[in-house]
Amino acid sequence: MSWPAGYGLKEFDEIDSTNEEARRMASRGETGPVWIVTRRQTAGRGRRGRQWIAPEGNLSATLLLAPGRPASQCAQLSFAAALAASDALFVSGAENKVKWPNDVLVDGRKIAGILLESASQGTADPPWLAIGIGINLKHFPADTEFPATSLAAAGLVAPEPMQVLERLAGALAKWYDVWRTTGFPPVREAWLARAAGLGSRMRARLANGEILGVFEGIDDSGALLLRETQDRLRVISAGEVFF
């Protein structure tokens, strides 16, 4: 696989956060598409402001781009990014799954996380979007609420980060083109084909508490469909799930 045409690359030995660098670049007028990658990340973060541990040997990268679409649609790119990360892992079959809203699992444990950030500047269409992706290749945190793993811990060969980035960049370019040309439905269909826990009971943590139900899929916007009872289907746009 070769580097995708039209995509730039900016490499660092160490920075605070690839998403923060994307924000700084965007403030200077850069719109990409350009990948930002670093060997070491000193202040990486995940969803809800959590710290993302990113030691050397893992992949820490961000794609900065300008989709030119409403913010509600840009959120769908987290599913495209999850598919791309799954494609890049050198793992196939039942061990490689995606987890709502934006994680990738190997053997039921989290191996990759995705963080989308943007700035709307008062407009409906964000002038830039940062898609941050962290993949545990050689190391993983041991004290996370949802169990984590790495390729090495799963008994697989852990390739070099730049090798994985090349695969990731090519895969995300493909899914981004699919999303831009045909919309969310094919991305949604592919994501559901790899979805962990589909059809099983799960616990969803929301801002105001937790609920239990059966994971029935995602809707046309990417919201989680959770069947609480025969007569009650919850549509969840933000939260965390456990199973």
Q: Six-digit token pair at 227?
A: 């069947």
The pLDDT, as a whole number, for residue 52 is: 60
CATH class of 8-193: alpha beta
Average pLDDT, the chain: 91
Distance CA 17, CA 152 (A): 24
Q: Do domains 8-193 and 201-242 have the same CATH topology?
A: no
Please tell me whether the overall predicted TM-score, pTM, comes out greater than 0.85 for this model.
yes
Q: Is the pLDDT of residue 215 over 80?
A: yes
The pLDDT, as a whole number, for residue 28 is: 95
Nearest to 89 by CA among 187, 164, 4, 36: 164
Distance CA 156, CA 91 (A): 9
Which CATH code, of 2.40.50.140, 1.10.287.110, 2.30.30.100, 2.30.40.10, is assigned to 201-242? Answer: 2.30.30.100
- Eight-state DSSP code of residue 170: H
Q: Enumerate the domain spans of the chain.
A: 8-193, 201-242
Determine the average pLDDT of the residues in 91-115. 90
- For 137-192, how does the pLDDT look when each residue is reduced to its tens digit (9 = 90+)? 999 988 888 899 999 998 888 999 999 999 999 999 999 999 999 999 999 999 99
Q: Is the pLDDT of residue 134 over 60?
A: yes
Which residues does 188 contact at the CB level (< 8 Å), separation at least 6? 79, 218, 220, 222
Q: Is the pLDDT of residue 205 over 70?
A: yes
The pLDDT, as a whole number, for residue 17 is: 94
